[in-house]
Amino acid sequence: MEQDQSGIGRRRFVTGAMAVAAGAAAGPLWGAPGARAAAPSLVSAAPGRSVAIFGAGMGGLSAAHELAERGFQVTVYERKALGGKSRSIPVPGTATGGRRDLPGEHGFRFFPGFYQNLPDTMSRIPFGRGTVRDNLVPASLEVIAYKGKELRIPVPGSLGGVLTPEAIEDYLRSALTAVTTVPPSQINFFVSKLLTFVTSGPRRRLGQWENMAFADFIKADVMSQEYRDLLVTMFTASLVAAQPDKANTRTMGLMFEALFYSALGLGPYGPPDQVLNGPSNDVWIDPWIAHLTGLGVRFEVGRTATGFTCSGGRITGAQVTDPSGASGVVTADHYVAAMPIERLQPLLTSELKAADPALARLAHLETDWMNGVMIYLKEPRPIAAGHLIYAATPWALTSISQAQFWSGDFAARYGDGTATDCLSLDLSDWNTPGVLFGRTAKQCTRQEIVQEVLAQVRSALPGGAALLPDSIVHSWFVDPAITGEGTAAVANDEPLLINTPASWGNRPTATTRIPNFFLAADYVRNSINLATMEGGNEAGRMAANGILDASGSAATRARLYGLYLPDEFRSIHGADDARYLLGLPNRFDLLLPYWPGR
């Protein structure tokens, strides 16, 4: 029988009662390869303070962090890899000469300035003489490549004077006119719609814009192709992996508002675009796991939650399976489901849904694909000093040239010494035919995906063929979450939640009606309202606070940071909500668009 790192047979399972007696408060004494063992001096948790967390992505790790700091005994069970979608994915077998494998990832990291919860957590993770937060460096979200032209987004600046709707309107109109080829009448209409959202009160945002598709809000169907390419699809598909006809207006409006205020340096926000100065695991995830382990958190990797038992309105245990197929029961005082929606939904039995009917609505939530493609280059290609948006590309591509932001010499550290840069791309539309093969990304093989991505990038960039010739392509890597590519069995092991119209009503809170069952993932209702690292972190904080409440803890609750709204707009929002309750439109809303040609 195969032995794990602790020497315990992989088919040996210990029930919760035995585990507590042994000092492992949340279940089996597993020690999977790659997991860090808990400190041997740990003792069992005090009654009511043992927590089992299922999922080690942003939500699970954030909940574990908040609880461990407050003296709870936490065990985290993860089916795949610590860090979830935010982890690094080294390319196997690419290292030679003492170097490390080439760095891959689910998709490049992007830390907008309006993230507040996650940077706060990062500031509490030691790294060298500072913290992990010190590894965030400013970039510039400034370049749009469009049909062989380069359009530069204006640098962050100030409106000047008093913040008013009219000042925002003038700023946006002049900025969009300067960087796009969209007809002026259509720019005016688009700006009026953005201003409509910015001046909408919370009642209208939730009651009206939550229930309307973004494409309908900005009348994409009657506008020019440039309007759709540069003002609609570019923003929704490229930046937030959403299709404009599927994403709701409230979510898209919140993201625009937050990016806009951050770019202007308003509120508590940091630099509008930040990236890590190295691979995620090196400068963030691994130090985080080490810190949590030092706080007493146990990690059990390769353990998949396969069911929850419910009796008397409470969770009484969780079934967990290891890679060999053997299963056991985990018991704890509190249970946190921190796995993604597509993993949790099949585990929701009729008993769980009866105990909390809101859980049944999770079946109505939808996911889509946004995955990474890395192209390693023999010559440095810092195409842009930040993120680059390839507008009008069928696969809604964005990229960042990573070596310019990373500490040390890329070639000396990774691969065989001849790869000097990594063009890391996010592929956000897997359902539209490409330009090279006429097939969707799902219908292409991995090799064809890379060829198609290069063709689309070259067509969008000025001088793209000369900038990225085949001769400088060292190798490539497609997110391994994609399987069966090019066949009818194509699948994505790590999709993303999408915020369809009215989806807020189907999303749960972190605290369920089951008093010892909590949720910590980005589908939980949160202030950022989008499937992001920030949303997962906020959900983990909310789950931790729920456990603190349920256990009667006197510890300080985890702080929750919301999105910034300017004080100057409080009265404007209140007045708009009064109009909404009277059935009147927002006063800036143009109900009829400027038609093409007018």
> In this predicted model, what pLDDT tens digit does every residue of 183-226 receive, in sequence order?
999 999 999 999 999 999 999 999 999 999 999 999 999 999 99
Q: Is residue 29 part of a domain?
A: yes
3-state secondary structure of 159: coil
Q: Is residue 4 part of a domain?
A: no
Q: Is residue 94 part of a domain?
A: no
| pLDDT for the residue 181 | 84
Q: For residues 270 and 294, what is the distance between their CA atoms, to the nearest angstrom?
A: 30
Q: Is residue 91 part of a domain?
A: no
Q: What is the CATH number of the domain that holds 361?
A: 3.50.50.60
Q: What is the CATH number of the domain that holds 453?
A: 3.30.9
Query: In what order do the strands lie in the sheet containing 397-401?
Result: 149-152, 143-146, 388-391, 397-401, 421-427, 371-377, 473-478
Neighbouring residues of 121: CB distance < 8 A, sequence distance ≥ 6: 62, 65, 537
With beta carbons less than 8 A apart as the criterion, state whether 102 and 372 touch: no
**pLDDT-based confidence at 180, cuts 50/70/90?**
confident
Neighbouring residues of 383: CB distance < 8 A, sequence distance ≥ 6: 143, 399, 401, 423, 461, 467
Q: Is residue 34 part of a domain?
A: yes
pLDDT at residue 38 greater than cutoff 50: no
With beta carbons less than 8 A apart as the criterion, state whether 262 and 112 touch: yes
Residues 40-53 have a mean pLDDT of 65
| pLDDT for the residue 162 | 78
| pLDDT for the residue 83 | 97
pLDDT tens-digit series, residues 357-404: 999 999 999 999 999 999 999 999 999 888 898 989 999 999 999 999
Neighbouring residues of 44: CB distance < 8 A, sequence distance ≥ 6: 20, 21, 22, 23, 24, 25, 50, 73
Q: Is residue 592 part of a domain?
A: no
Domains in the chain: how many in total? 3
Both 484 and 389 in one domain: the answer is yes
| pLDDT for the residue 48 | 82
pLDDT at residue 142 greater than cutoff 90: no
Both 385 and 481 in one domain: the answer is yes
Q: List beta partners, residue 309.
A: 317
Q: For residues 65 and 299, what is the distance between their CA atoms, to the nearest angstrom?
A: 12
List, in sequence order, the alpha helices (H) in 136-182.
165-179
| Strands 397-401 and 491-492, sheet pairing | unpaired
| pLDDT for the residue 240 | 61
Q: For residues 33 and 84, what is the distance between their CA atoms, to the nearest angstrom?
A: 17
Dihedral angle sign, alpha carbons of residues 349, 353, 359, 365: positive
Percent share of the chain, pLDDT over 90: 77
Neighbouring residues of 93: CB distance < 8 A, sequence distance ≥ 6: 101
